[in-house]
Amino acid sequence: MRGQVKTIRVMTYNVHHCLGSDGRFDAGRVVQVIDQGGADIIALQDLQSATEKGTLAHFGRALGMNSYAGSPDSPLGFLSQLSLQGVQEYPLGAGGICLRGDTCIGGKRLHLFNVRLGSTDRGRQIASLLGPELLGSRSVSCPTLVLGDFSDLWWGAGNLNLALSLEKVGRPLWSATYPARFPLAARDRIYLRGGLRVLDYRVLRHRLARQGSTHLPFLVTVQVVDPRTHLKVEKLHRNRMETAPG
């Protein structure tokens, strides 16, 4: 018997209003960078733009993906090859914001939290994120991905609570995303919880990615696994070992 396992690739990317590290506005570069990542779902931050070409709807049309936002002028959005349900925006206080949505992978629900924290009072914002309305809610009981721009260069306020509640993807030296030209800090991060197994993670560091925004995109590939099936298989294997001859 094999567990029901599905694979999904997810990206987080702060597009910095399509203003590149070279000081030039170019929404086309951002579209190319997103496309080269090959992700099934993309969590975008800092989407506000002076032109229509920098909007979430434009990205969706250019990439042939569904677009989801909490409000028309929101700085956060999802692009997805999959259908998302229950997309809703939540303020975290002090300029922080979270966009939540759910999807279905292999018959199992996956919770997605797209986060953009403010640079001040981060402890309060993270407490809100972990609180009863969001990650602390009883309704958030399925595999969960939390991803976005956490707005800290090193060890910021509230990070200990994040580390105690969620599993971080990547190591600081290999997952640095900011600033794009010479990344030193893992400001853009992905956390997970529940029946998820990390298969691969990487930061896009090619020339176009270094120019397209002041942040680099961070991707993770995960398997969504039904833990009940794995428990049955584990129990079966243990019983076989107990009854094996010799």
What are residue 190's DSSP bridge partners? 147
So where are the chain's domains? 5-243
**Predicted local confidence at residue 235, as pLDDT:** 43
Is the four-CA dihedral 42, 203, 175, 224 of positive or negative sign? positive
In tens digits, what is the pLDDT along the chain, a chain of 246 residues?
A: 345 568 999 999 999 999 999 999 999 999 999 999 999 999 999 997 766 777 899 999 999 999 999 988 899 999 999 999 999 999 999 999 999 999 999 889 999 999 999 989 999 999 999 999 999 999 999 999 999 999 997 777 789 999 999 999 998 778 899 999 999 999 999 999 999 999 999 999 999 999 999 999 999 999 988 655 444 434 434 443 333 333
**Predicted local confidence at residue 194, as pLDDT:** 95
Q: Look up residue 220 and give its two tokens.
A: 């993770």
User: For residues 19 and 17, what is the distance between their CA atoms, to the nearest angstrom?
Assistant: 5
User: For residues 104 and 93, what is the distance between their CA atoms, to the nearest angstrom?
Assistant: 30
User: For residues 204 and 137, what is the distance between their CA atoms, to the nearest angstrom?
Assistant: 33
Under CATH, to which class is 5-243 assigned?
Answer: alpha beta
User: For residues 91 and 129, what is the distance between their CA atoms, to the nearest angstrom?
Assistant: 9
pLDDT, tens only, 61-72:
999 999 999 988
**Predicted local confidence at residue 4, as pLDDT:** 58
pLDDT, tens only, 168-212:
999 877 889 999 999 999 999 999 999 999 999 999 999 999 999
Strand order in 167-168's β-sheet? 85-93, 96-105, 108-116, 144-149, 188-193, 167-168
* pTM (two decimals): 0.89
CB-based contact 77:69 (threshold 8 Å): yes
**Predicted local confidence at residue 106, as pLDDT:** 83
**Predicted local confidence at residue 21, as pLDDT:** 95
User: For residues 77 and 12, what is the distance between their CA atoms, to the nearest angstrom?
Assistant: 10
**Predicted local confidence at residue 150, as pLDDT:** 96
User: For residues 238 and 231, what is the distance between their CA atoms, to the nearest angstrom?
Assistant: 11
